[in-house]
Structure 1
Amino acid sequence: MSREIRFNAFDMNCVGHIQQGLWTHPRDQSTRHGELQYWVDYAKRLEAGLFDGIFFADVVGVYDVFGGNADAALRSAAQVPVNDPTLLIPAMAAVTKHLGFGVTSNLTYEQPFLFARRMSTLDHLTGGRVGWNIVTGYLDSAARAIGIDGQIAHDDRYDLADEYMSLVYKLWEGSWDDDAVLVDRERGIYADPAKIRTIHHSGPQYKVDAMHLCAPSPQRTPVLYQAGSSSRGRKFAATHAECVFVNGQKKEGVKEIVSDIRAQAVQLGRRADDVKVFLGATLIIGRTEAEAQEKFAEYRKYVSTEGALAHAAASLGIDFAKYDIDEPIDTGKSQAIVSNVEAMTRASGPQWTRRKLLEQMVLGSRQTPWVGSVDQIAEQLIGWSEEADVDGFNLSRTVVPECFDEVIEHLIPQLQERGVYKASYNDGCYREKLFGHARLPASHPAASYRSNGK
């Protein structure tokens, strides 16, 4: 029997997310991203459709690699302007009961003590439905925004992240015992000081001498997402991540990444099924293949090539404006998203060009869309699940809200008929729905910071 497929809506608190230019489509509503009602309605729609969650991407810089400035990104709204996604979550949680919220936060620019409090607060307010996508950043513009001359080297960012994780684990898992909160009205004792510990941390990057400010939240540590597929990123994912977000054009390439991460996790004492993998996907669905192709052709009219190049230049760390259309591109030693450079090289060969890149970006991004009838897309999703060993899909938006309405109204019922999609939500917090338990298992490194070590 096939495994149950899981869906996240993949979005960002901005106008142009992945498919650059589609905000200009007359039916698209992403220009309303500054309206709270837009997100409240979005959450209701996703929960009615039994989505597992919404996965919020985020950046804290602008795309200024292409042409040496941010002009192209600004003209095309390529992830700028971009608002803070964490502030949306309580409002979306208030109108839903089951929907999970994965939010990207860049640890390089977040003080761990304050960040730990913010995530615990969100976990309390959502009833245990928050996840954290752990990122270390890749934009020099973000580094400059906080007073650093440039981005920390790629692998060094992961070394910093390992220390950061140990610190927030200490705060989330080790500062308060589960039974520290008494709420004893008769004696006037809210919490037992003997069951609350000050965390002492002194490392190469961080020094903290404080107790966690929040009482234990439903999950304590949020569900941990991570999206690194480079060699160093895979090691980090195998150590810390519960959910891994991957992109790829070929099943065998994705399968290799998935197998490697799970094998490394097992070597570290975790179980292979402690890690769930979500593949990024863009779906163009029709009642027939012809209808889907017609819709695809319509959407392509609104693509922004300039926006796509601005986005790709930043995420690959290469200024394509310096190259003629067929001039071989020197990838050099990019300090941006190394796995993106590796994926592009796999897709186009070692001597890829601006033309080859543009040929891939048929819908305004490097993510090739899947175009087909409901039956064809269902078969494709099941095939990826079985052959590449992925657990679910992060579905990037095209024209909203219709792209998700089509999944909810047509695709999910088809998957339910095939027995690969849930008919209702299970009870419990986000981690319980994904893994069957509310807290991180004893095999996870965070468990070592608990007062009982379990």
Structure 2
Amino acid sequence: MTNSATPAAAKKILLNAFDMNCAGHINHGLWTHPRDESHRFNELSYWTDLAQTLEQGLFDGLFLADITGVYDVYQGNLDLTLKESIQLPGHDPSTLVSAMAAVTQHLGFGVTVNLSYELPYQFARRFASLDHLTQGRIGWNIVTGYLDSAERLIGQKGLKDHDQRYAQAEEFLELCYKFWEGSWQDDAVRKDKQRRIFTDPAKVHQIQHAGKYYQSQGVFQVSPSVQRTPVLFQAGASPRGLQFAARHAEAVFIGGDKPEKIKAQVDKIRSLAREQGRAAVKIFLGITAVTAETDVLAQEKLAEYIRYASPEAGLAHYSSSVGIDLSRFADDQAIPYQRTNSIASVNQKFKEQQITRNDLKAQHILGGRYPLLAGSGASVAEQLIQLLDETGIDGFNLTRTVAPESHRDFIRLVIPELQQRGRYKTEYAAGSLRSKLFNQGDRLPASHPAEQFRCAASKPSAAAENIQKQLA
């Protein structure tokens, strides 16, 4: 492909590794490959080694997926999920961050947390603490859940209505903004040993919130971190999810296969963001890449990987995503649309297209449903650049295939090709994750809805006034 833009003017690709604290994440079945080490996901060294590898490749972040619940829709049981380790067993991703941050300096961490099963205060405190410990490298991927099994695990009867989950999410975010942005002024912490004043009481304010879903009163326990609010990621693609993303998300994670459909998604997201008075939204596309020294060797490697992959495990994952047991249909039978409360944007495809199990198996050739690129480093680099330029996305969430081989191959073969074309950074910028992504400082911009919850100085108490006199 010939790019008309000069290297200096062309947009540089942003890149996250897309992973999960489990063995089988997106490309199912590849845990059986002799060189795959994902079975070591419960060992801390597996993750610290990965973090250091990604930082050597100048990755912007490690995007950690997560689910609450299990995939039990396919065949009406957990048998295939357990046999193929389809995100089961799966561990809490936030437990990995401090260790990985300790062995890196720049790598960001986008952590998925389902707000439907969290208390806003405890969640906000945990992520503010992580932002301190990572020195401003934490992001939150906001999800509302899509599994009935999750509801049963917490003692509920079934999944809430799709749009109701987003209504609850709106209030969850509002309360988190109050905690992160509204309780402590930037200069509240003094650490004045001589005057015995660690924090200036006049600059810490109580939160008052009485809503439909949540109530809270009191002072947030965590002082302002580098970013205050973590970088906000979101992946909802339904009409309600897109409205939510346009209002809150700084980075949106999308799927898609054909460039024209991806571009339509991108244009829609950017249009909705502009309607909200927001312009700077980064959009990442999920992608899988298999690369080697030549195109021929890459195809040979892909053929090798396919022998270990499990398209049926991909179907089991997909079944829970749409809330439909796909095992009930013949391989060549068109799957009818059924309204469910699961991932609406994925389920909608059955209404728009004639899709069979065979179609899905072909799409899940490596057990996952993201676009698959295979070729030499130069070939993959050109395909990534073309996708970026044709669709208007900002970067990619790169799934793993054989771990850690696939990321190492990408860093060794693809990254230098992107750099030679002027489409990928050659060093990290300084600053927080938000600053690296947007180059506009560490904090959320004034155009973000969090702005209305930022604290302003209030009339101090008598005790606080006395302390102010001491500090004068």
CA distance in 1, matches of 2:306, 2:358: 17
CA distance in 2, matches of 1:130, 1:396: 20
Q: Which of 282, 293, 300 in structure 1 is aligned with 2:299?
A: 293
Counting only pairs closer than 5 Å after superposition, residues 201-216 of structure 1 correspond to structure 2 as 201-216=209-224
- Contact 2:138–2:230 (8 Å) recurs in 1: yes
1:41 matched residue in structure 2: 49
CA distance change for structure 1 residues 343 and 425 in 2, over 3 Å: closer, same or farther?
farther
1:390 aligns with 2:396: no
- Post-superposition Cα deviations, 1:217-264, rounded to whole Å, max 9, x if no partner, equal 000000000001111111011000000000000111111111111111
CA distance in 2, matches of 1:361, 1:183: 56
Partner SS, residue 149 of structure 2: helix
- Contact 1:327–1:353 (8 Å) recurs in 2: yes
2:402 matched residue in structure 1: 399
Give the C-alpha shift of residue 330 in structure 1: 2.0
- Contact 1:345–1:352 (8 Å) recurs in 2: no
1:131 matched residue in structure 2: 139
Q: Which of 263, 278, 281 in structure 1 is aligned with 2:287?
A: 281
The count of corresponding residues between Structure 1 and Structure 2 is 448
Runs (5+) with no aligned partner, structure 1: none
1:419 aligns with 2:431: no
Partner SS, residue 101 of structure 2: helix
Q: Which amino acid aligns with 1:445?
A: P
- The two structures have a TM-score, normalised by structure 1, of 0.97
Give the C-alpha shift of residue 431 in structure 1: 0.4
1:366 matched residue in structure 2: 369
- Post-superposition Cα deviations, 1:386-442, rounded to whole Å, max 9, x if no partner, equal 110011100000001110111111110110000010000001011010011100000
1:334 matched residue in structure 2: 340
- Contact 2:337–2:348 (8 Å) recurs in 1: no
Give the C-alpha shift of residue 277 in structure 1: 0.4
- Contact 1:362–1:368 (8 Å) recurs in 2: no
Counting only pairs closer than 5 Å after superposition, residues 85-96 of structure 1 correspond to structure 2 as 85-96=93-104
CA distance in 2, matches of 1:445, 1:218: 19
CA distance in 2, matches of 1:112, 1:331: 35
Q: Which of 80, 101, 105 in structure 2 is aligned with 1:97?
A: 105
Give the C-alpha shift of residue 327 in structure 1: 2.3
1:440 aligns with 2:448: no
CA distance in 1, matches of 2:351, 2:133: 43
CA distance in 2, matches of 1:4, 1:344: 35
Give the C-alpha shift of residue 326 in structure 1: 2.1
CA distance in 2, matches of 1:303, 1:386: 31
Q: Which amino acid aligns with 2:170?
A: D
Give the C-alpha shift of residue 341 in structure 1: 2.1
Give the C-alpha shift of residue 345 in structure 1: 5.7
CA distance in 1, matches of 2:44, 2:143: 26
CA distance in 2, matches of 1:111, 1:31: 32
Work out which of the two has the higher radius of gyration on C-alpha atoms and give 1 or 2.
Answer: 2
1:267 matched residue in structure 2: 275
Most deviating of 303-312 and 220-229: 303-312
Most deviating of 246-255 and 354-363: 354-363
CA distance in 2, matches of 1:452, 1:407: 47
Q: Which amino acid aligns with 2:73?
A: V
1:325 aligns with 2:331: yes
CA distance in 1, matches of 2:43, 2:321: 28
Partner SS, residue 27 of structure 1: coil
Give the C-alpha shift of residue 2 in structure 1: 1.7
- The two structures have a TM-score, normalised by structure 2, of 0.93
Give the C-alpha shift of residue 76 in structure 1: 0.5
- Contact 2:125–2:222 (8 Å) recurs in 1: yes
2:315 matched residue in structure 1: 309
Most deviating of 372-381 and 49-58: 372-381
1:355 matched residue in structure 2: 358
- Post-superposition Cα deviations, 1:131-170, rounded to whole Å, max 9, x if no partner, equal 0000000001011111111111111111111111101000
Identity %: 52
CA distance in 1, matches of 2:112, 2:349: 22
Give the C-alpha shift of residue 331 in structure 1: 2.3
CA distance change for structure 1 residues 44 and 125 in 2, over 3 Å: closer, same or farther?
same
CA distance in 1, matches of 2:250, 2:452: 17
Give the C-alpha shift of residue 342 in structure 1: 3.0
- Contact 1:258–1:390 (8 Å) recurs in 2: yes
CA distance in 2, matches of 1:452, 1:412: 45
Q: Which amino acid aligns with 2:450?
A: A
- Post-superposition Cα deviations, 1:25-75, rounded to whole Å, max 9, x if no partner, equal 000000000000111111111101111110000011100000111111011
1:145 aligns with 2:157: no
Q: Which of 167, 185, 191 in structure 2 is aligned with 1:183?
A: 191
2:67 matched residue in structure 1: 59
Give the C-alpha shift of residue 344 in structure 1: 6.1
Partner SS, residue 178 of structure 1: coil
Give the C-alpha shift of residue 306 in structure 1: 3.1
- Contact 1:248–1:343 (8 Å) recurs in 2: no
Misfit runs of 4+, over 4 Å: 343-346
Give the C-alpha shift of residue 452 in structure 1: 4.0
- Contact 1:182–1:192 (8 Å) recurs in 2: yes
Q: Which of 7, 11, 18 in structure 2 is aligned with 1:3?
A: 11
2:412 matched residue in structure 1: 409
1:14 aligns with 2:17: no
- Contact 2:310–2:365 (8 Å) recurs in 1: no
Runs (5+) with no aligned partner, structure 2: 1-8, 458-472
- Contact 1:6–1:391 (8 Å) recurs in 2: yes
- Post-superposition Cα deviations, 1:276-296, rounded to whole Å, max 9, x if no partner, equal 001000001122211111111
